[in-house]
Amino acid sequence: MTSPQFKVSAAIAEHLGDRSEQQDRVAILTSERNPGTLLAIVADGMGGRTGGRMASDQVVSTATNLFQELSERDTTLSGLLRQIASEAHTVIRLSALSSEKEPHSTIAVLMVKRDFAIWGHAGDSRLYLCRAGRVIRRTVDHTVASQLTAEGRHAEAEIAAQHYKNVLFSALGIRNELTLDLDETQDLRVGDAFLLASDGLWAYFEDGEIASVLDRLPPREASKQLVKLARERAEGRGDNLSLAIVKLEAPLDVPKFEVPEGSVIPFT
């Protein structure tokens, strides 16, 4: 039996929100050295005006360089994701020491290769895997509140969610030990859609609404709809937001990844 192969359509979008500077970075990459493989990444930088952007720039730059070096013979995709996070984390920490700032960045990163997908995250940028109008997989935020909930300390988690909802226990560049959670699936189907998003976007949606939009609309239109709704719901108090959508379409004889011209949607 041969592995199922898909046509992949994709789009990315970012918006300044109501902030003075864009500190999110988002990218979708393909590689001539590894045809049939796609990488999508969202990084939300924090740590002051220049520090946050430097951190998210470093995450995307590290991912781009390492992904472009990936050979078609390389099979340890989990190792690549760990290497991206580790190297970016180290460089950001060194920058913090030299600049006397505290830059750090979240990461949500996805790789799709034929019928296989693997993803990782640190911080509170999320990845959703949606199928037939439902979210079937979703990352768990690396926040103090989510950690307390996982430990069964629900009363403390409620307090943390109210007063420390943006406090992270893991992110690239943070002083604490880096935690990178990985997940994967070989059960990919036509119509499946991945959303990677910073908290400036996902904070305004329930899971079911995200899944419905990705099910009904192609990636470019879904990106526009999600950004439009997030901006309306922010009511002038919105953070930077960024997203990447990767959707699997009907199989072709040869795996093909498409990021059509104009799929990068810079909102102003």
27-41 pLDDT per residue, tens: 999 988 888 899 999
Q: Is the pLDDT of residue 44 over 50?
A: yes
> Is position 151 within any domain?
no
> Is position 90 within any domain?
yes
Q: Is the pLDDT of residue 7 over 70?
A: yes
d(CA 198, CA 207) in angstroms, rounded, equals 14
**With contact defined as beta carbons under 8 Å apart, do 260 and 29 qualify?**
no
**What per-residue confidence (pLDDT) applies to 251?**
77
Distance from the first to the final alpha carbon of the chain: 48
**What per-residue confidence (pLDDT) applies to 68?**
92
Per-residue DSSP letter, 151: T
Mean pLDDT of all residues in 112-133: 96
> Is position 22 within any domain?
yes
The band of 3, judged by pLDDT with boundaries at 50, 70 and 90, is low
Domain at 63, CATH number? 3.60.40.10
> Is position 180 within any domain?
yes
d(CA 90, CA 98) in angstroms, rounded, equals 13
Token pair for 161 = 């969610």
Q: Which of 160 and 137 is assigned the larger pLDDT? A: 137
**What per-residue confidence (pLDDT) applies to 71?**
79
Q: Is the pLDDT of residue 263 over 70?
A: no
> Is position 1 within any domain?
no
What pTM value is reported for the model?
0.89
> Is position 2 within any domain?
no
Q: Which of 44 and 156 is assigned the larger pLDDT? A: 44
**What per-residue confidence (pLDDT) applies to 261?**
47
**What per-residue confidence (pLDDT) applies to 156?**
56
Mean of all residue pLDDT scores within the chain: 87
Q: Which of 15, 16, 30 is nearest to 67 (CA)?
A: 30
**What per-residue confidence (pLDDT) applies to 241?**
97
In the block, tokens 């939300």 appear at: 44
**What per-residue confidence (pLDDT) applies to 111?**
97
59-116 pLDDT per residue, tens: 999 999 999 998 777 768 999 999 999 999 999 999 877 666 789 999 999 999 988 9
How many structural domains does the chain have?
Answer: 1
The band of 162, judged by pLDDT with boundaries at 50, 70 and 90, is low
Mean pLDDT of all residues in 235-264: 77
**What per-residue confidence (pLDDT) applies to 165?**
60
Token pair for 106 = 């979240």
**What per-residue confidence (pLDDT) applies to 32?**
85
Question: Which domain range does residue 84 map to?
Answer: 7-141+169-267
Share of the chain above pLDDT 90, in %: 68
**What per-residue confidence (pLDDT) applies to 210?**
98
Share of the chain above pLDDT 70, in %: 81
> Is position 86 within any domain?
yes
> Is position 152 within any domain?
no
Mean pLDDT of all residues in 222-238: 97
Q: Which of 222, 214, 52 is nearest to 129 (CA)?
A: 214
219-229 pLDDT per residue, tens: 999 999 999 99
